[in-house]
Structures are given as C-alpha cells and as structure tokens.
Amino acid sequence: MDKISIDLNRSRGTIAKELYGHFSELIGGVFYDGLWVGEDSKVENIRGFRKALVDSFRKIAPPVLRWPGGCFAETYDWRDGIGPRGRRPRRVNWWYYHDSRLESNQVGTHEFVDLCRMVGAEPYFAANMTSVTPLHIRNWIEYCNIPAGLTSLADERAANGSPEPFNIHYWGIGNENWGGGGQMSPEMCAREYIRYTTILRSLGMHDNRYIMCGANGLDFEWTRRLMKEWAKRPWQETPTWGVSVHYYTDWGHGHDDLVFDEEGWYDEIFRADRMRRIIDEHRQIMDEEDPERKLKLVIDEWGNWHKDGSGPSKGYNLFEQQSNMRDAVVAALTLNTFNNRCDVVGMANVAQLCNNLHSLYLAGGENFVETPNYYVFSMFKDHQGAKQLESCIEADTMENEKYGTLNTLSASASVADGMLSITMANLDLNTSKDIHIDISGKKVAGKAEWTVLSAADPLTCNTFEDPFALVPKMQEITLSESKTVKLPAASVAKLRIHIMED
C-alpha cells in the first residue's frame, strides 16, 4: 500500500495564489474567436468577451493573467491597441510567419484590463525589450498607472474611457530574449534589462514588480551568466521582483495528443517531473548572487506542447491542441510541484488559456468547452493562499536513464480555514493505488470530500460534441481508522477534510 504522511506542524509557508496564474497571448485563436468574439457577435458576450468563458474562468479565481505575449510581445507597440477600435491598425506580428494571420489590435490595453477585472485577475504585462525603446515602455507604464490630470498620457487614458489608473504592478521586461526576443546572450539580456529598468525606475513606482527574462527549461548556464551580469549593478538601481523560466514538456518533440501508448504516456510524465529539478537548480544558481532570496522565481510559461492540429480548428489556430488525462495528470503533477516549493516560486502561468497548448478552454463560434486541465485548476483552487504542509510520499518508483527517478504518486497538501486539502495524481498508467493517509499534529473529522478526475480510457477528451466526457466526480466519504483512499490509474484526486479544534 502507498502512503502519504502529512505533518500539520511542518510548512514551507503560504502557497502564493499567483502559482495558479495564466497566460494569454495575441496568437492564433487565443483571443480572436476564443476569448474575444466582439461586442456585435451573436455569441453571448460581455463587452466583447465570450460570456461562457468569463463565467467559467471567474469560478477558479485566476490570480494573474499574462499578456500580450510570449514572443508576440517583442513586436508589440502598445499604442496600436488604444483608442477607438475601428481605427486601430492591422499589423504583421511576430507570429505572422507561422500562421499568416494579421493582428487587428481589437484587444488592447483597455480591453485586456477589462477582462482581468471581470474575472478578478491581476494583469501581468509582458513588455517589449527587443524592438522598441525604454522610453516607449516607460510611457506605457505612465499611461496605465499615473492619475488622470497629472500628465498628458494619463489624460489620454481617461479620454479613452478609463479615468481611474489601471495600477498594473507586474511588468515582464522582455520575453525569451535567448530566442525570439532578439537572440541575445545572457550578458546582453541582463544589460538591456538594466537599461530598461533604470529608465522605468525614474517613474518612482515602487509597487511595480519587474521580471527579468530568464532561461529556457534546463539551461542553467543562462541563469548563472544572467545573474552574474545583473548583479554588477546595485540592487536599488535595477528594481527586480523576479526572474522567469519557461518550460514546455515536449517542445520540439511534439507528442501526438490524440494517440499515445504507454511509452508516450511515461515520456511526457517523466519530462513534466523535471520541473522539480528546474526549480531547485535555477534557485540554487540564483542564490550565488541573491543569497537572501529577494528575487522570486517566476515560471512564466509552462505546459505540454503537442503536435499541432489536434484541436477543433484542425490546425487553423496555431498551437491549438486537445487535452486528455495525460495533460490533466501533468497539470496536477506540476501544480503539486509548485505547492511543495512555494517558498521559492513566486508566480507560475500555464500556457495558454484558450485554444493554445495546455489550455483550459477550447472555443470557436458558438462552441465552448472546458478541458480536463480546467478541472484540475478547479480541483486545486483551495490551495491558493493556503498554508502549505509538508507531505512525505511512499509509493513505487520508476527509473529512466535520461530523466532519473519518478515517484508514481504525486501529492501536496495545505490548510486554510480549518480545512485540509490534499491533491494527488496517480502517474501510473495502468495500476490503481490504495493510499493510506497519515495525518499527524491534529485530529481530523471522519467525513471527507473525495473528488476524482479519471477516465476508463486516458485518451478521453471533452469535445464540442461531447463536452462533459471527462469531468470530476465528488462524493462524501467517511475515513475509517485506516484512512485509506483508492486512486484509479492515471487519475487526479482531491481529499478535503475538516480539522478538529483541540
């Protein structure tokens, strides 16, 4: 029998709600015909945004939403996205070469902030560090954050319909500058970041949280060289909140999401499990220049990156893919990893929200569906802002020459408002697990909520034709003295238990 032991007295701290962040880029079908249908659409909408999606998204309490890229950010001019929508320019954007679609700029700063306010998320703006100037980004911040009446840019914002400042705190400076963001060396990236933030600092907005572009996955050397260069300037002159890392499980490999065998299942799972090493090693390297750990590690983009074309648009929407139990298990494994490293990860954003990569939604025309990934976020919601609890797992392990050791059971635990939440994923494709839950430190009630997301066939997915093929099922259970739960093969589950007062 497998075992999860939880000590209610051992914690790494609070699980920042920002670990449950999201990413939405102006790419393919994320916005156009995805999140955004336009005010005149016959699809029910709230000020242009698809109502069904807004209503659903709000339910999982998204803490943060990153925009407008991704790589898109590195050809974005924020001025294209303000003013009357009918007069906004159409542009060839960063992704044009890949999908020949033009950017209509219908979703600009005001619309995006409106979406964030509707769902209760903090906007996180990714600023262009490659093809505009520091002054241009400084002006964007001034446009967003200065009270009306003080400067011409603030008045322009008011004239465009928002007298109140947007108060955008999260600003990513650059995106993947080792690649699409200018093919920079780490030293050049750090120098550019310093050049930009020195100018941005002159705005005096001490609440702004600037995020420096970090590495691609396991590229630890990037972080070492970046940090070394960055640390040459005094901390107070280069205000920095975090350093980002992007990690996609099968980038450049492209697993097929509609068919996979046992090997394809485990290859993806082993790759996803590398997130532990990615966090631990990047943090250790950051420690060399930031021993006090003032900087946060920001996993700006994460998710599975499958072969193109498995989504409902059949390849029209760039990087759109279907989602099944393998994606759900990867989402759960990754979120458990973040929870268990909540002392070092400051934010994480799954890529992307709709019609793209590891998405929570698929949509087009009147059609809209919540993917299994959505349900994982919904099941894990209670961890946001809760006190993390250390858990010790005893389960079968697997070995892989390339990736190392995999524990076939993933779990994390937290407590908030007298409720203990334990989330789990059975990474074993074929074998269910009987799990003994051992809780020390306090008594727990016998009654518990047990929610399971699983399917007889792990390839099951939610489609426009069959939108509820894969949904979680919740039941009330009584935990006997032996405190045992059964976790089906290839599944995700949550246990919620009331903690008794002393």
Q: Which window, 47-55, 63-71, 148-156, 196-204, contacts ligand AHR (CB under 6 A)?
A: 63-71
Tell me how far, at minimum, the Cβ of 308 lies from ligand AHR, in Å. Answer: 12
Q: Which window, 67-75, 266-274, 276-284, 491-499, contacts ligand AHR (CB under 6 A)?
A: 67-75
DSSP state for residue 36 in the 8-state scheme: B
**327 near ligand AHR, judged by CB under 6 A:** no
Tell me how far, at minimum, the Cβ of 69 lies from ligand AHR, in Å. Answer: 5
Residues 137-156 that bind ligand AHR (CB under 6 A): none
Tell me how far, at minimum, the Cβ of 467 lies from ligand AHR, in Å. Answer: 25
Residues 169-208 that bind ligand AHR (CB under 6 A): 175-176
Residue 169 to residues 37, 66, 241: CA-CA distances in angstroms? 28, 12, 10
Residues 259-298 that bind ligand AHR (CB under 6 A): none
User: Site size for ligand AHR, by CB under 6 A?
Assistant: 10
Tell me how far, at minimum, the Cβ of 195 lies from ligand AHR, in Å. Answer: 21
Give the residue, chosen from 33, 219, 301, 370, that forms a contact with ligand AHR under the rule CB under 6 A.
301
CA 70 to chain CA centroid, Å, is 12
Cβ proximity to ligand AHR: between 123 and 472 the closer is 123
**346 near ligand AHR, judged by CB under 6 A:** no
Place of tokens 């909520």: 449
Task: Given the residues 74, 103, 122, 176, select the one marked as catalytic.
Answer: 176
| Residue 94 contacts residue 71 (beta carbons within 8 Å) | yes
Cβ proximity to ligand AHR: between 325 and 351 the closer is 351
DSSP state for residue 361 in the 8-state scheme: E
Instruction: Tell me which residue has its CB nearest to ligand AHR.
Output: 70
Neighbours of 135 (CB within 10 A): 12
Check if 176 is active-site. Answer: yes
Nearest to 243 by CA among 226, 257, 266: 226
Give the residue, chosen from 56, 128, 352, 388, that forms a contact with ligand AHR under the rule CB under 6 A.
352
> First and final CA of the chain: distance in angstroms?
30
**70 near ligand AHR, judged by CB under 6 A:** yes
**342 near ligand AHR, judged by CB under 6 A:** no
Distance between CA 153 and CA 220 in Å, rounded?
A: 40
Neighbours of 326 (CB within 10 A): 26
Residues 463-492 that bind ligand AHR (CB under 6 A): none
Q: Which window, 69-77, 146-154, 187-195, 482-490, contacts ligand AHR (CB under 6 A)?
A: 69-77
Strand partners, 101: none
Q: Which window, 11-19, 66-74, 102-110, 150-158, contacts ligand AHR (CB under 6 A)?
A: 66-74
Cβ proximity to ligand AHR: between 349 and 388 the closer is 349
Q: Is 180 helix (H, G, I), strand (E, B) or coil?
A: coil
**25 near ligand AHR, judged by CB under 6 A:** yes
Task: Given the residues 122, 142, 301, 370, select the one marked as catalytic.
Answer: 301
Residues 420-459 that bind ligand AHR (CB under 6 A): none
| Residue 488 contacts residue 454 (beta carbons within 8 Å) | yes
| Residue 172 contacts residue 244 (beta carbons within 8 Å) | yes
Q: To 5 degrees, how large is the angle CA 249–CA 377–CA 70?
A: 50
Strand partners, 14: 387
**257 near ligand AHR, judged by CB under 6 A:** no
Check if 301 is active-site. Answer: yes
**34 near ligand AHR, judged by CB under 6 A:** no
| Residue 94 contacts residue 75 (beta carbons within 8 Å) | yes
| Residue 254 contacts residue 306 (beta carbons within 8 Å) | yes
**214 near ligand AHR, judged by CB under 6 A:** no
Residue 318 to residues 249, 259, 352, 369: CA-CA distances in angstroms? 18, 20, 12, 18
**69 near ligand AHR, judged by CB under 6 A:** yes
CA dihedral 12, 16, 19, 21 (to 10 degrees): 180
Residue 334 to residues 20, 233, 269: CA-CA distances in angstroms? 11, 34, 10
Distance between CA 387 and CA 15 in Å, rounded?
A: 6
Cβ proximity to ligand AHR: between 335 and 357 the closer is 357
| Residue 188 contacts residue 180 (beta carbons within 8 Å) | no
| Residue 489 contacts residue 430 (beta carbons within 8 Å) | yes
Cβ proximity to ligand AHR: between 99 and 287 the closer is 99
Q: To 5 degrees, how large is the angle CA 274–CA 275–CA 279?
A: 120
Tell me how far, at minimum, the Cβ of 121 lies from ligand AHR, in Å. Answer: 18
**245 near ligand AHR, judged by CB under 6 A:** no
CA 243 to chain CA centroid, Å, is 15
Q: Which window, 107-115, 199-207, 351-359, 445-453, contacts ligand AHR (CB under 6 A)?
A: 351-359
**71 near ligand AHR, judged by CB under 6 A:** yes
Q: Which window, 56-64, 132-140, 155-163, 349-357, contacts ligand AHR (CB under 6 A)?
A: 349-357
Distance between CA 436 and CA 4 in Å, rounded?
A: 6
Give the residue, chosen from 279, 351, 395, 479, that forms a contact with ligand AHR under the rule CB under 6 A.
351
Tell me how far, at minimum, the Cβ of 377 lies from ligand AHR, in Å. Answer: 17
Residue 237 to residues 67, 73, 204, 214: CA-CA distances in angstroms? 26, 25, 11, 19
Catalytic positions: 176, 301
Residues near ligand AHR, by CB under 6 A:
25, 69-71, 175-176, 301, 351-352, 357
